[in-house]
Amino acid sequence: MRLLASELACIRGGRQVFHNLSFTLAAGNTLVVTGPNGAGKSSLLRLVAGLVHPAAGRLALEGGNSELSIGEQAHYLGHQDALKTALSVQENLAFWVGFLGAGKVGAALAAVGLDALAALPGLYLSAGQRRRLSLARLVAVERPIWLLDEPTSALDVAAQGLLADLMRTHLTGGGLILAATHGPLGLEAAQELKLGATR
């Protein structure tokens, strides 16, 4: 499987964020997108997820399911942790599993260390716990592409190590990771895509 971007351009709010952007990301690999604030890191992830349309260029997934869009074969983890505070940890993840497709709620909560908090309302989660609940979606429903926007945000050192382990497992299984970050992810062989300063 390969994710191919050819001469992509993105315009947001009437401003060209980036143009002539090309890359290839093969199964089992990570592409880390870096650059200053406003360079288009989040916009690129949203474009791949299908939430933003490219102004120019082409995006293709070789070896994927031809009946599904690229976005339907990807997990998008944005800046904000989407959860309903009145629902329990387990109910929040069950909602996302129902929305995204069949998956394993209990095993995913255990994978991110939240199984003991399954009955706790989301209102009482710390920022780091909320982030781990968002990460549980990646584990609960299998999708080949992970689009991660500042995934280590609010995570302590132990949770960052847990995330790195989850990413390695995903890559070993043939997954792809496109991550926008200002800091290290703990992956040894990640490729880097540097986006330029805003104009």
- Full set of structural domains in the chain with CATH: 2-192 (3.40.50.300)
What's the mean pLDDT in 151-167? 92
Whole-angstrom CA distances from 155 to 20, 84, 129, 145, 183 are: 34, 20, 8, 22, 12
Residue 138 has pLDDT above 60, yes or no: yes
Residue 198 has a pLDDT of 45
Residue 44 has pLDDT above 90, yes or no: yes
Mean pLDDT of the chain: 91
Residue 100 has a pLDDT of 83
pTM: 0.91
Instruction: Give percent of the chain above pLDDT 90.
Output: 74
Residue 156 has pLDDT above 80, yes or no: yes
25, with CB counted inside 10 A (0-12, 13-18, 19+), is buried
Residue 14 has a pLDDT of 87
Residue 199 has a pLDDT of 44
Write out the E strands in the chain.
Answer: 2-12, 15-26, 30-34, 56-62, 74-77, 145-149, 176-180, 191-194
